[in-house]
Structure 1
């Protein structure tokens, strides 16, 4: 008998899944049971298709589709147990993960001697009342704390799914961050915004990608490197669809248009000398991205975004962000929105993925109102104006980082995903 969860077991001899809570069982085939036993023996390890074929069909030669079909039926039988996730890892194999609730790492304060001294010599009722009161006080402090605010925000997100994307005629997969249930996670919610007849980019042979949705926006962050670790910040593409109607973005035209827009108006990018060895009292960690918002029948809108972190402690410091919004024909004079504040950084997990959450308390905001706003950019102006009126506390999620780049979920126009360039500037 193999334990899967506290109540779900695999009876290898009987080839059954045994649910001890509901008193039910699910029959398995020989191959399903053998593959599940192998996956349970190496939890969270990625097992190759070849290894699983040998286990599921010993001394037999079968087509790879036999494994694909077996995994599909096994996944359906495990479907009622949402904490048991049988994942497909593209080009590598399969992984069994027993999900745990997302959590934030925190320090615990525990003074056993002080607690013992406080309780000695009092009645049992007084002890009980004192402990209950202390628990209530701690609960109130926890509920009102920044830690609790972060936990509540992180609990909204999931990162246990992958979607397939066709970018410029090249196929790939994207790890997906989403809020809520899975009803809007079909790849078409992202793919429908790229016009099929114009989805060709000869320079992209392969890519790494992340995707995100808050149920309203659908973001794609793409780097033209097979391995995300190799992404050096060149050729990245950030696209966010803010309208359910297919945007019809022609990728063949988009690449030269985006390059033209970035060369024509540039506010926020910091280009540092390659041999800069300057010394300074402070280090500014700067992140920059160009994010494009295609909407059917409208001018293409671009957000030239810059974010900077200046640490004043191990996990806290000053936060700066500037957004500059323009459209492709320059009908909208730049809409500039600047935020200054203080941040606390928390290390957390969304499913089993490590994420840094930056809880920003806004101290100062500045909106530079444009002289003219095109119809295409009007909804962006309205949203930025709402931010200017309402923003007091913000949550930024850094979901990936290497030496030159980082991927962020940014609280602007809803929740927007962007693959950013990363630089350090010594001040």
Structure 2
């Protein structure tokens, strides 16, 4: 039955290969089930009012991930893709929208839902191709690297490697603290495991160093399994707040990150999977984009932030995955972890911070392909990279990058050669600053 549906022979694969590919991708992205609720709940900041409930997000993360993978498996059935709540977007929602702007989790989920619906509409129209081709490559890469630096400063703060300072704003943390040192070692271990090409380096690092913390008494162990926490935010979103003028920049930022992150991930995976034709076109990308956008809408309804395609899927493709069967296996494996919430709450924040810092490194690697020889292209990218961590806002970084890019094109006489999309986003960015 599965052989006939996924057409293994046509795609030069088989059931065993697809299962191995699914397990491989699962191991590379399993960390999200721990990191997503950790970030959205603001666990490291203590019981601060306004953040998401950890248990509710844990359950929503796993169910939304599983559902998204099933949608990709059965609708975008030629795509061996894993999907889950996106890193970077969750930090933007937690620290920028909820803690920074003072919105409720329900309002933030409403913004995620609206952005997902807009993404779905774009995926059904020619706007998709127009937008993908309109935004300069360097700007996309600079924004991706900026998100990485934003995650890095959050990760370092969670680890305790950096702290607040009244004059310099940031300063070195307490490196004599055993848990801080353990977090640093966990980060090094993740890098070493990746260098040695060991699959699942992040999840291995998280579990191994957490065990060390538990055994030595540095952290409390709460157990392994229990019944899943209730989904507090199921269908609990505030559309009225999400559609307000002040929330427009948030919706745009969520849409922008999800759209171009998905497009970039799918293109990368397509190159590895041989899904790019002789004319450079990606086959069946419409179905993959549709699956991704529907997953975002479903995720918001369940109570988690934007669900997106994971670039870690490339690991499964390299292992031979060529069909949606890989996605099906990923979804089943995530579902099997639904009862591990006590384990999730037992992970020391310093170890979680180390994993976040490692993910940040993966984002920052985008800088290698920026057009450094053309300062008109590279300068706006650097603006995005610098302003995101320093203003603690991804949306500020995107807005300033587009504004500076547009101004540079105006004063260098490149107006006619610049896409209308740049002018539109730049103008909207200026308006957002004026009404903020």
TM-score calculated relative to the size of structure 2: 0.21
Larger proportion of helix: 2
Q: Higher Cα Rg: structure 1 or 2?
A: 1
TM-score calculated relative to the size of structure 1: 0.22
Which structure's relative contact order is higher, taking Cα pairs within 8 Å and 6+ residues apart? Answer: 2
